[in-house]
Copies of this chain bind each other. A is one copy, B any other.
Amino acid sequence: MAVRATLSGFPEWLPDGRIVEQHVLDTARRIFELHGFASLETRSVEPVETLLRKGEIDKEVYAVHRLQGDDDSALALHFDLTVPFARYVVDNAGKLAFPFRRYQIQKVWRGERPQEGRFREFTQADIDIVDEGDLAAHHDVEMATVMAEVLAALPIPPTIILLNNRKVLEGFYRGLGITDVPTVLRAIDKLDKIGPDKVRTLLAEAGLTETQAKACLDLADVQAPDSTFVERVRALGVSDPMLDEGLGELAAVIDGVNRDHPGAARVDLHIARGLDYYTGTVYETQVIGHESFGSVCSGGRYDSLASDGKTTYPGVGISLGVTRLVSLLLGRGLVTASRSVPSAVLVAVTDEQSRERSYQVAQHLRERGIACEVSPSADKFGKQIRYADRRGIPYVWFPDDAGDTVKDIRSGEQVGADATTWTPPDTDLRPRVVAVTDSDEGAS
């Protein structure tokens, strides 16, 4: 199933699994760039204090230090790509053009207990837009629509982006007279994991009355495919200026997404997001039929994460959990790669003396973008064909001074061919990643 992890929490794919991962990464990159996001990478380490200031995840950070040698500063591996990006923006503000759009595909590390869908090292693919001073609200829509486009382009089951707004939650809690908002947010964030009864207990422990706790849980229950959620929240009878602001923002986001990608998103007021730095819109994404696997695409608006004390750079971003998604696809056999190597052709070698002749064939094919390899040995042709077959290479080329031939080893058909003109069908040119349908499953 193309998955290996000899060290718990640090997954490694086999070559065909990596082809699936590459397809996800290439698709994300292609669509991010079509939308004008510039690529960026930040260093993997940040000062420990930069990481600990953000979010309540101190125990999950991996510190790094030189095994022998004096470290000048305490460093740790980043746990997401948003905090380092905010730091990068502040560091380089004078050299960036705002609003600044970037995508970032890198590994992140968290020292959590590994479990299904949770890893200690994993790859994320983020898009973010930051501006100086103010960031226009339509970018909150854009984050969801760009990711909806990526998800729709992948050979995966349908997905749904869940939307909420921190101001809706915080305003509602304030309107109820609750002062310790972070504790309530953290309790609500656990709903999926521990269920409403245990959340009610947590809320009681936090000092909420039964009425307050019930109202919080009623709010978390609100879902809607459009802006009708506003009436349902109003019907709960709580009022607060921040709540009004949040409802307006959230209605604009769901309406905007429905305009460009009808049905790609849904308002779901139980989404809270664990990270402290979100201030408005928040996103999570479920794979339909695999909801328990967790969110594969999350993010939100952060109006005050990036600041040098004088200027604030508000941002909004969303992050595709590449490793989680790929582990779902591979672990549950939802997709398959047509072969485990890039080569479309194996060029056979008649004998070691004529290896150079085979190299020339390969060079002609490569000049026209056809990936190929030359047989490592001049074994009998049957053995060379088996070499191709084991890797899923569809064609074997036989150089012959009386006229080259190429064989489709699936059909057995062998035809005369010229290396300067022959081209395989488009479907064979590169490895393809396709959804496994029920009939495939039956056949395997």
Q: Which residues of A contact B (CB under 8 A)?
A: 4, 6-8, 10-15, 18-19, 21-22, 33-45, 47-48, 58-69, 72-73, 75-77, 88, 91-92, 95-97, 99, 101-102, 107, 109, 111, 121, 129, 131, 136, 138-139, 259-260, 340-343, 355-356, 359, 366, 369-373, 376-377, 387, 390-391
Contact = CB atoms under 8 A, between A and B. Distances in A.
Contacts of A42: 12
B97 A43 contact: no
A259 B48 CA distance: 53
A194 B16 CA distance: 47
A15 B370 CA distance: 31
11 contacts: A4-B92, A7-B43, A11-B43, A12-B41, A34-B370, A35-B366, A35-B371, A62-B67, A97-B387, A129-B376, A138-B376
Contacts of A373: 35-36, 101
A42 B17 CA distance: 12
B64 A63 contact: yes
A376 B139 contact: yes
Contacts of A371: 33-36
A15 B35 contact: no
Contacts of A107: 44
Nearest to A349: B138
Contacts of A259: 356
A11 B45 CA distance: 11
Nearest to A25: B39
Contact of A102 (B7, B15, B34, B62): B15
Contacts of A99: 376
B36 A18 contact: no
A43 B3 CA distance: 13
Contacts of A390: 97
A38 B13 CA distance: 12
Contact of A369 (B34, B88, B121): B34
A325 to B, nearest CB: 15
